[in-house]
Structure 1
Amino acid sequence: MTLRGLAADALVLCLCIIHQQNLCAKSIQLRNVMSTVVKCINFIKSRSLNSRLFKNFLEVLDADHCNLIYYCEVRWLSRSDMLTRFYSLRSEVCQFMDMQANPVDELSNSQWLCDLAFMVDISKHHNELNMQLQGPNQLLHVMFARVKSFETKLQLWKVQLQNNDTTHFPILQEQKPSKYARECEKISEVFTEKFQDMKIKQLELDIFATPFNVTAAAVPSKFQLEIIQLQSDDTLKAMYLNTPLADFYQRYINADDFPILRKHGLKFLSLFGSTYCCEQFFSKLNLTKSRFRSRLTDETLKWNCE
């Protein structure tokens, strides 16, 4: 989805960062893991008899969990919880599938279990990034900084996994990792491709987010004089350090002294980094238009007032 930021003389287009990150998370090539896990879960949970038998089986074994978790492709954040639960119950699932005369060879395959462990860890890392990108009032430069931080982590993990260092992959530590440095490299390549347009705007973002740190000679000529004037004002620098960025541009960067910087700041303040606010609004609208509010009875009217 394309999002727009408007100013008096400029139009900036960017894709929803959360959706882009979602596409990057889906780029992991270990499809054999997901297909096998989903097949096992569907076999157990989509049949009521199997589901009851599996629950009873877990109770008898005194397992850590009482059931598996369904996976929904649309709600992709559920993948991490689903994989974590499945990994925790992998031995119980293997025994149950054997009892049902539907053995799954992968559950006894050390390499496949290693792939599963990697998927559990990397999915958790992706989820953590996604949760950081969510929330209202997130400015574009903050969201992009978190994406860049994750790209740097991928480079670190690549080097560490090449040396069989699984410090940041606790589930993978239980297995014997082999090929996952290349997987991190592939994910990093997808991030580079998806966020290429944002990286082109990096200097513009720096001018907006850290105007006191940029070098006047390095910015476009139309900004240079105002940047010098801004960086020479110690009062404005103190305000910048102690004021939220949006308030700083609205209250202290006036159109008389800094016309170009003010337009530039308002342009990036008006740019939505994701569709989070829009989707949150529709979620609230669905709650408002629920079946409880569509019936005018004494009971529902009381519920609405509460």
Structure 2
Amino acid sequence: MGADVRQQVVDSVRESPSFSLQLDESTDVANCAQLMVYVRFVKELNVHEEFLFCHPLPSRTTADEIFKVLNDFMRENNVDWGRCCGICTDGARAMTGRHSGLVKKVQEVAPAAIWTHCIIHRQALATKRMPQELHTVLDEAVKIVNLIKSRAMNARVFSILCKEMGAHFKQLLLHSEVRWLSRGKVLTRLCDLREEVLLFLAEINSPLVKHMEDMKWVAKLAYLSDVFEKINTLNICLQGKECNVFYAHDQLCGFRKKLELWGARVERGSVEMFPTLEDVLARAELKVECLQQVVCAHLEGMRKQFGEYFGEETMANQWVRNPFSFPVTLKDGLSAGEEEALAELSCDMDLKQRMSDVSLAHFWLSVGTEFPQLSTKAVNVLIPFTSTYLCE
């Protein structure tokens, strides 16, 4: 059955006018390197996203070895490299090396392929740094969770305690650096069960109980829970079949502006955008000033990191997003004939109405008969992956 499904995907990729690849090298539970590949392609006026294949890699996961596996699969299944318009990877040197990386090798056989550095990978890196004070709180929170979750007896007793206290949840969640959404979920659950955790640590005479008794420490934990929950929301928005480069760019720009806005509000003494923190401060009768400096430093640091990883560049090919209000002078590499076709399309009110009823990719695929060159160019902008979220 699995072979049949894969064959259907391969057949669809062969028939698609263009396709893009998303790949990542991951290590499984047996510490073996595995190459995972997803593909985006066009079928019946829609963009589809499917798992293509997974293949074990040798101990030395070099660009040559990864490309050999990928190229062998393409040749065995008669997939034309020339129709590959995009490749999305993380920032590892084996993937992105300027002279001998995987991307360079793919572009030698697929000149039209544009490389995208996984947006979620960059987002995860941009949010990883934090002031040492908050990093210490995170480490101590992980120790508390591990104390309860890593020992079977503790986990069972804690679960019984949660049931007796009528808690909404019965267990904590383990933290994993590999899974990007893990940090926010772990902290949120720990904050939800903070009273139960305090009682449990006190009963077993753990020295970690001092952290849960320190309301300033709990306030910092609550802040981390709130801010990473917002980061997780952004992370999820950067995934999915309908996520294209324009949508992802908008989400990132919006989040950067929110970071600036949140910092300004904290400076004014308001934390209403962080509900868990607001609740902890109110119950403990603490003022925002007790952690105002560290929160502002963290938010400003994240804002600068997002600037470093994503820059201030203006998105090109805006005519793809809205062909009905394009500027007179275009700078997106359109030929004279394509500019004239775009001018004609922009005055068609029926097409404008159609665009409001369907997705962006579906619209450009639907005008392929009337405006073939523009349609092909637009689809090649929209099909490439913006992120690799294989670990999630």
Common fold: TM-score over 0.5? yes
Corresponding residue SS for 2:114: strand
Correspondence 1:27 to 2:118: no
What per-residue deviation string (whole Å, max 9, x for no partner) do you get for residues 12-50 of structure 1?
222111222222232334211221111111111211222
Q: Give 1:103's aligned residue.
A: 207
Q: Give 1:185's aligned residue.
A: 300
TM-score in terms of structure 2 length: 0.61
Q: 1:58 to 1:9 in 2, by over 3 A?
A: closer
1:114–1:172 CA contact under 8 A, matched in 2: yes
Q: Give 1:54's aligned residue.
A: 158
Q: Give 1:70's aligned residue.
A: 174
Number of residue-to-residue matches in the alignment: 273
Residue 98 of structure 1 deviates from its aligned partner by: 2.5
The answer to which structure has the higher helix fraction is 1
Q: Give 1:250's aligned residue.
A: 365
* Structure 1 unaligned spans of 5+: 284-306
- Could you tell me which amino acid in structure 2 is paired with residue 113 of structure 1? V
- Could you tell me which amino acid in structure 2 is paired with residue 184 of structure 1? L
* Cα RMSD after superposing both structures: 3.1
Whole-Å Cα distance in 2 between the matches of residues 9 and 204 of structure 1? 19
Whole-Å Cα distance in 1 between the matches of residues 196 and 212 of structure 2? 10
TM-score in terms of structure 1 length: 0.76
Whole-Å Cα distance in 1 between the matches of residues 111 and 193 of structure 2? 58
- Could you tell me which amino acid in structure 2 is paired with residue 17 of structure 1? I
* Structure 2 unaligned spans of 5+: 1-23, 25-86, 89-102, 282-286
Q: 1:182 to 1:224 in 2, by over 3 A?
A: farther
Correspondence 1:217 to 2:329: yes
Q: Give 1:142's aligned residue.
A: 247
Tell me: higher relative CO, structure 1 or 2? Use CA pairs within 8 A at least 6 residues apart.
Answer: 1
Moved more, 235-244 or 155-164: 235-244
Correspondence 1:83 to 2:187: yes
| Within-5 A mapping of 1:1-306 | 3=88, 10-29=112-131, 30-104=134-208, 105-174=210-279, 175=281, 176-177=287-288, 178-179=292-293, 180-196=295-311, 199-200=312-313, 202-217=314-329, 219=331, 222=334, 226-227=338-339, 230-231=342-343, 233=345, 235-243=347-355, 244-252=359-367, 259=373, 261-262=374-375, 264-276=377-389, 279=390
Whole-Å Cα distance in 1 between the matches of residues 368 and 328 of structure 2? 17
Whole-Å Cα distance in 2 between the matches of residues 221 and 82 of structure 1? 47
Q: 1:28 to 1:214 in 2, by over 3 A?
A: farther
2:162–2:169 CA contact under 8 A, matched in 1: yes
Residue 86 of structure 1 deviates from its aligned partner by: 0.9
- Could you tell me which amino acid in structure 2 is paired with residue 268 of structure 1? V
Q: Percent identity?
A: 27
- Could you tell me which amino acid in structure 1 is paired with residue 307 of structure 2? T
- Could you tell me which amino acid in structure 1 is paired with residue 202 of structure 2? D
- Could you tell me which amino acid in structure 2 is paired with residue 18 of structure 1? I
Corresponding residue SS for 1:23: helix
